[in-house]
Amino acid sequence: MAACSRGLAWPPFDLTTARGAALHRPAPRRRAAIRCCCAGADTEPRRRLSRAAAAAPERAEEWRVDGNKPSAAAPGRRRASLTAMPPLPFPAPRSRRQFKQQDFYPRCTQRGPAPQSRDTPPKRDTGIASEKEWGINLLDEAVKETGINEDGSTWYRESGEDLGENGFRCRWARMGGQSHDGSTEWKETWWEKSDWTGYKELGAEKSGKNAEGDSWWEKWKEVLYQDEWSNLARIERSAEKQAKSGAENAGWYEKWWEKYDAKGWTEKGAHKYGRLNEQSWWERWGEHYDGRGFVLKWTDKWAETDLGTKWGDKWEEKFFAGIGSRQGETWHVSPGGERWSRTWGEEHFGNGKVHKYGKSTTGESWDLVVDEETYYEAEPHYGWADVVGDSTQLLSIQPLERPPGVFPNIDFSSTPPPNKDDPPAMPPSTPLE
């Protein structure tokens, strides 16, 4: 089965997306593998922003869609802000209704053992869920069942185990169902993998659609392995989410990832894009900590309308041992092609002095040295110790027993493996397909 392939490839942007306010994140998972359950939504903390992203008052008008130029501000406040990229999360005004579980799937009944869907549309900007939220609970026996409920809806449930070379083992479970007319449907898959190299993986994938035409898809995974180049243990967590409205030209996609090693090296990032009727937006950000004091953070986001208005904001900061720099740009293009931009920069010397400089297309400029304390985050607020503590189910995966005298085959490539988290292709300003 696809869930048990050795390297789960990221699927392309497909048609499983959702609508308006119906686009919610997964409900907290219960430990029971298959039973009636209706859980409420939970909230995951958002990532912490650096001081370089502190709000600047002039940014309020820079994000307007009316084509007006932003007003100038005092030179002393030239940092790019991370104000929310328009548009606000859908819905459009005509689709603000909060859907309930019973809108999509049959109500839980005490009769019959049919699995009940725990699938709900994902919610934007909620990052990577925890093990507890997914509540993956695999059976120790093979199961294959199907059935029909009293209302005519159908369901299925199956589980099993796949074995392969090098001690590869994949335990999995799948379940799903649909209404009698096929207008609503849900699917969910869980898996855990291991082999003799120490590789362990825990993952889940789910998708669904409702009678209104809304559709969505979500995938979550965490992995433990030993890096072939540093010989250090690493844990990686990732999530992909997408949703599409069935009633309007609206949809979105997000990919989140986090990587950690035992010496404090950390990498985090996200790529996002979406569309709401005549407006499209994109955002990418990343954080890198080398575990020895160096930190790099950056953000790049932009948006456009069908009328031709475009605007964006980006910034970057690099620091080590109190010395570093920040720089950024805010820009705006009117429907007629008139462009406005403001660039800014800071050099931090580590002695309480900061060189600030910048200019804009309206003629403003500044270049001065000020007395100012340098602040930046040299370590991630969530690091190796945190992810180990939150990955107990992943760490508890038991691989197959290795026979005496049999050793795992490790393929040491001539070059480091490619980065699988390169930015996905950004979609054109056309309706999400």
Position 143 scores a pLDDT of 92
Alpha-carbon distance 228 to 245, whole Å? 43
pLDDT band at 413 (very low <50, low <70, confident <90, very high): low
Residue pLDDT, tens place only, 273-318: 999 999 999 999 999 999 999 999 999 999 999 999 999 999 999 9
Whether the per-residue pLDDT at 192 is higher than 80: the answer is yes
pLDDT band at 229 (very low <50, low <70, confident <90, very high): confident
Q: For residues 219 and 204, is the Cβ–Cβ distance under 8 A? A: yes
Tokens read off for 344: 């800014």
pLDDT band at 110 (very low <50, low <70, confident <90, very high): very low
Alpha-carbon distance 250 to 96, whole Å? 13
Whether the per-residue pLDDT at 10 is higher than 80: the answer is no
Position 427 scores a pLDDT of 38
Whether the per-residue pLDDT at 149 is higher than 80: the answer is yes
Residue pLDDT, tens place only, 38-58: 333 343 333 333 433 333 333
For 229, other C-beta atoms within 10 Å of its C-beta total: 10
pLDDT band at 408 (very low <50, low <70, confident <90, very high): confident
pLDDT band at 230 (very low <50, low <70, confident <90, very high): confident
Tokens read off for 11: 């699927």
> Does residue 33 or residue 383 have the better pLDDT?
383
Secondary structure of the chain in the HEC alphabet? Answer: CHHHCCCCCCCCCCCCCCCHHHCCCCCCCCCCCCCCCCCCCCCCCCCCCCHHHCCCCCHHHHCCCCCCCCCCCCHHHCCCCCCCCCCCCCCCHHHCCCCCHHHHCCCCCCCCCCCCCCCCCCCCCCCCCCHHHHCCCCCCCCEEEEEECCCCCEEEEEEEEEECHHHCEEEEEEEEEECCCCCCEEEEEEEEEECCCCCEEEEEEEEEECCCCCEEEEEEEEEEEECCCCCCEEEEEEEEEEEECCCCCEEEEEEEEEEEECCCCEEEEEEEEEEECCEEEEEEEEEEECCCCCEEEEEEEEEEECCCCEEEEEEEEEEECCEEEEEEEEEEECCCCCEEEEEEEEEECCCCEEEEEEEECCCCEEEEEEECCCCCCCCCCCCHHHHHHCCHHHHCCCCCCCCCCCCCCCCCCCCCCCCCCCCCCCCCCCCCC
Alpha-carbon distance 15 to 33, whole Å? 28
pTM over 0.75, yes/no: no
Whether the per-residue pLDDT at 65 is higher than 90: the answer is no
Position 418 scores a pLDDT of 45
Position 276 scores a pLDDT of 95
Position 141 scores a pLDDT of 85
Whether the per-residue pLDDT at 34 is higher than 50: the answer is no
Whether the per-residue pLDDT at 417 is higher than 90: the answer is no
Taking residues 185-199, report their average pLDDT. Answer: 95
Position 3 scores a pLDDT of 57
Position 4 scores a pLDDT of 64
Answer positive or negative: Cα dihedral of 127, 131, 136, 141: positive
Position 86 scores a pLDDT of 39
Residue pLDDT, tens place only, 331-376: 999 999 999 999 999 999 999 999 999 999 999 999 999 999 999 9
Tokens read off for 349: 């010397």
> Does residue 303 or residue 30 have the better pLDDT?
303
pLDDT band at 20 (very low <50, low <70, confident <90, very high): very low
Percent of the chain whose pLDDT exceeds 70: 67
Average pLDDT, the chain: 76
